[in-house]
Each structure stands twice: as structure tokens, then as C-alpha cells.
Structure 1
Amino acid sequence: MDLEKRGTGERPPEGCLVVAVRMPVRIVVLVLVVPVRVAWDALVVGGRFLRDTVLRPLGRALTWLGRVLVVVPLVWAYRWLLTPIGRALVWFARRAGDLLAWVYARVLTPIGHAAEWLLRRLGLVLAAVGAAVLAGAAWLVRWLLVAPATWCWTWILTPVGRALVWCGRGLWRVLTAVAAGVGVALCWTCRVLFVLPALAVWRWVLTPVGRALVWCGRGLWRWVLVPVGRALAVVGREVADALGHAWRVAGRISLAVGRFLGTVLRWLVVEPVRWAYRRVLTPVGHAVREAVLRPAARAARQVGRATRQAFAAARGIARQTGTDLRRALLGEPRPVARREPVAAETRTLETRTGREVSPPTRG
């Protein structure tokens, strides 16, 4: 039956406790959740309005300000200060490198070769002297230290050490035997005084008491904790279902309230503003444009045209004055004789292709 119910998707039958708990819990949760959902939706709408009207323009203004105050000065400094300074430093570094290379090749290398030759010769001399000194020191150490130490080790220290080892082994055997006897005695004493009473207490006291406590704990778990847990699980499940249902209902209520407030705001604020813009501001703007702005723009264009003509006339006068001054100071310029091409040297289609083209004959 359970498999058939699960396969068909039907819910199992509910008890009286579930039915008695569900409706009060849903009512209480709905009363508590509706203000929270309305406040949440209001915060969401306010956050979106703040993002679109304040934060985005502020971010764009900050971006433009950062670009103007930071990026543009940095680019200018990099292009017109750091790049020339870096190129100058690279040029100086190259010249200094060339100078150092010349000093290394012409000065330091010969000095190094001479120092190397002197050190090699000095090393050979010191090696010979050191070898002689080491040979003499080795002979002295051998006959003054090594030979007496070997004799002392062979004929004095070795016999004394062997005697001490034999004595130590005997003493260790005696101490081992004494410690074994003492350990056996202590083991039997601890067993009689502690182990056997502890085993009796564990077997005849603690084990029955533990079994009784386990039996009581199982009964408490089976007959008290399990029913209480099931009841709490039913209450928790119903509270969770009630929260979900109340959240959805509160969302619908919040949507209706938001639409009502939007409609009221539209008819009280948006529509009057739109009517004023269409019926009042637009005609006034058109009138101002036709009566003030366009004549002002036309006058500004005429002033600009007159100014350009005046500047052009001034430039022509200045150019003519300069020409007159050059003629008065330097005289008339000499005419340049231009050489006209001879008819035989002119390039035609026949000379370019290297063959003559006969004129067409009329039939």
C-alpha cells in the first residue's frame, strides 16, 4: 500500500494533531510575515530606485573624475616626463657601460693578469715552504704524541678497562636478580590488594547497575523522547509549511499594495507632471525657441560670418603690406626664365612606344 501511494503521488493520511496544529500556526505566521514581506518589497524597490538614480550616475561621475584627475595626469607624466628621463638614463647607462667595458678591457684585465702571475709564483713558494713545515711537524707529532699515546693505550688503559668491564657485568647481574625478586613481590601484593577487589566490584556491582541504567535509558528513549521528538517534528514541519504559504500570500498582498500605491502615485504626480509638460512647458519651449533662440543663433552666425570676413580682409591687407615692404626694401624679384619644351623633345604616344602611328585613312 505504501508503494502504491508513493507511486501515485498521494499524500499519506494526516493525524488529528497535524490538523489541530496547522490552522493556528498558519494564521499566526501570516500575521507575522505580512509586514516583513511588505517591508522587504519596499526595500527592494527603494534599492533599485537608489541604484538607478543615485549610485550609477555617482559611479560614472567618480569614474570620469578619476580619469581626469589620475589617468590623464599619469599618462601625460609618463609620456612627457618619464619617457624622456628614461631615454636619457638609458643613454647615460650605455655610455657608462661602454666606459666600464673599456676600463675593464684596457686597465683591469692587464692588472689582473699581472696579479695572477705574481700570486702563482708566490703560491709555489708558499707550497714548498708549507710542505717542509708540515713534514717536520708530522715527524714531531709522531714521536712526541702518537708513539707515547699508543704505548699508554696498549699497556695501561686496555687492561684497566677490561677489569672495569668484568666488575660491571658482575654488579649488573646481582642488581638484576634483586630487582626481579622485588618485582615479583610487588606484583603479587598489587594483585591481592587492588586487582582482585576491583574485579569483584566490577562483576558484582558496576555491571548490574550499568545494565539497569541501560534498560531505563531504552525505556525513556522509546516511551518519552521518541513521541516528543515526533510531535516536535510535526510542529516544525507545519511551521515551515506555514512560513512558505505565508510568504507567498504576503507576496501577493505586497504586490497588490505596490500596484495600488503605484496607481495613486501615477494619478497624483506623474499624470499632472506629464500634462504640464505637454500642455504648458512644450508650447512655452517652442515659443522661446522661435522667438529667442533661433534669432539669437541666426544673429550669432551673421556675427561669425562678418568676423571671418573681417579677419580675411585683415590677412589680405597684411599680406599686401608685407609684399609692398619687401619690394621697397629688396626691390622687384627677378623673373625666372622658364624653359619651354621643344616640339621635338615633347613626349607623344609615338615616342613613348617607339613606333609611329599612321593616321587613319578614309575609305
Structure 2
Amino acid sequence: MAGSTGPFLLWAQDVATLLILRVRRTVLQTAVLLCVLLLLLWVSIFLYGSFYYSYMPTVSYVSPVHYQFRTDCNLPGPELCSFPVANVSFLKNSRDRVLMYGQPYRISVELELPESPVNQNLGMFMVVISCYTKGGRVISSSARAAMLHYRSSLLQILDTVTFAGLFLSGFSEQKQTVEVELFSDYMEDSYSPTIGAVIEIQTKRIHIYGAQLRIHAHFTGLRYLLYNFPVTSAILGVTSNFVFLSVLVLFSYLQWIWGTVWPRDSLSVQVSGQEGSGTQPREDVRRRVVIPKAGAEEAEEVPPTQPEDVGAAEGTELSEAAAEMQAKKSNVGELDSGSETSLETEFETVDNSSLLTEANFPVPSQESDPSNLLSSEGKAPSPGTEIRQRSVCSSS
């Protein structure tokens, strides 16, 4: 019983080890995948935020308007010595421009006017704005008329009685807010950027609680969608960035996998081999095998072979050549005058592969010994001497 349970326990242990390795591998792959997805998500959010910050201009800009006027005229009554004038800067933090090139803006002034008898009897008055660039040069100006809203005496009495508690507690005041639109479609000039404006109220009989300059961007096209549908635009932008980055990462991973399975070295070697074979001359390869003869030498010719068949059919060709030469040994004497011609025709064009086969034939020792060469000059080869000839490539 114990002997039969031993292999089963070993098998169970192997299976458990394999399962643990697979689970660990799966958990590791899942963790890496989640990390990559989170990284891509954060990068997508960062890219969309950077695009939104650089593409979208300042939506609304509000600046207080502080009017100034002269007081040295000593005129009696409520009249002022000069028109109220204010200088407003269009630079945030004294360096960042509020207006963006090519973006239309709506510029208006809000005036808080008390319902005093002076303002009620004032009637219409003019509000003038003059935009200037560096150096104080005026590049644009506009003038608009305004007045306090009319309210009858009965309506004023009813309003005072109804909101008397709020008026007495200070939570409400008897005043009106008059908004004067100065520019409905103001465009910034890229060559002469606006850095400020001078606002003037052309009346000397006016009471003002306060004033504000409002600049609101009028969006069209893509900016309109980004401003009026921020959530939808953010979802679409982040999703598109995430998909684009995921495709890039996937292609990079597949390129890495394919580069591991099919390395580039083998591919380059194959291409270079094909290019080299294309440049070789397409000629028949002829081999010459010299067999020593009794009284004469004869160079037998082997049938032409293609360069690619030299290595594979080398043994077969040599055996066939040897058989033919043995059959022709009886006809050696017939080649007295034709031997010189055969020796001359042996120097034909050969392929690079035939040059390689030259290594199979040993080089005679006479080539390395100059004395033997000198001694052998002018002597005819003996019948038992073996003549070996090297194949040479001709330029033709």
C-alpha cells in the first residue's frame, strides 16, 4: 500500500509545484499589465490636461475699477471738477496677458449706482474705454450710453415698505447695477498686444458705489465644446489618448517579440547571400582533373555543373570522371597534337566555387623550393611525374 502511494504523492507534488508556478506567473503578468494600464491612464490624463491648459484661454477675467477725479476746482453743489477716470491693467500678476490672439472677447463695465435723487435726475451719460499697448499708444476705443433704470414713485414706496427689514438690518441696499457693454467682439492684435485700458465716465454729476471690468471669452468651434461640455470632452480626450498610447505600446511589444523569434542577423545574411548570388556571372563551371599517363598527359573534362550543385554532387561527378578516364586510357596515343590545344583550353572562366576546390589538390613542393625550379628548367617531365594544373579565372 505504501509502495503504491509513493508515485502518487510524487505526482501530486509535481502537479502542485506546476500549479504554483503557473499561478505565480499569472499573478506577475496581471500585475505588470495593471501597472502598464495605470501608467497609460495617467499619461493620457496628463496629455489632455496639458492640451486643455495650452489651448483654452482665460474664460472670464474680472478687475475692479477705481475711478479718480479732481477736487481742486471748489465748485458748489454735487458736481465734480473732472470726469471720473480709471486705468485698468490687462496683465495678470503684472506679466501674464489676459487676452489670447485670435479669440473674440466681450468687454463690459458694471456700475453700482445708488438710487439717489442726483442719479435719478442725471439722465443719460457716456462711458468711454480706450485700449492701449506698450508706450501708451491707443489701438482701440469705444463709447456707450447708459442710465439708471426708471422706477416710479409708487414702485419705490412699495419696494421700501416690503424690504424695510432688510434695509434696516443692512442685508440689502437701495441701489441698481448697470452693465454697459463696451466691446461685443474684441479681437487681440498679435502685433500690438493690449496691456491696459482707460475707462472714463463723461459726466460730473454722478454717484458711484463701485465698478468692475468684466472680460468674457466668446468661444466657437472646439473651444465651445470644451467649455460647455467639459465632462464629455474630458472623457473623449482621455479615451482617445489612452487608445493611441495602447496601440503604440502593443506594436512595440509585438516588434520586440518578433525580433526575438526572428532575429535580424539571419535575415541580413540571407539578403546579402541573395545579392551576392545575383552579381556572380552565370557561366558553366568546368573542372579539370589530370591523371598521369604513360608517355603523355591528358586533361579530362568533367561535365559542367552549376555553382549550387558543386558541393552536393562532388562525389558523383568525380566518380563519373574517373570512370570515363579509365575507359579512355587505351586511346592515349591519339592525342599527340591535341594535347597542347587541350592545355590551352583548360584556362577557361570558372566560378568561385571551382577555386575553392583547388584546396583538394596538394601543391607541389617545387613551388616552395626555388632551387628545384631552377634545376627543372628546360627538362621534359618524366613519364612517372604527375602534372597538376591550377584553375585560373580569365577576365573574359
- What TM-score range do you get, normalising by the shorter chain? under 0.3
Q: TM-score, normalised by structure 2?
A: 0.18
Relative to total residues, which structure has the larger strand share, 1 or 2?
A: 2
Q: TM-score, normalised by structure 1?
A: 0.20
Relative to total residues, which structure has the larger helix share, 1 or 2?
A: 1
Identify the structure with bigger relative contact order (alpha carbons < 8 Å, sequence gap 6+): 1
Q: Name which one, 1 or 2, has greater alpha-carbon Rg.
A: 1
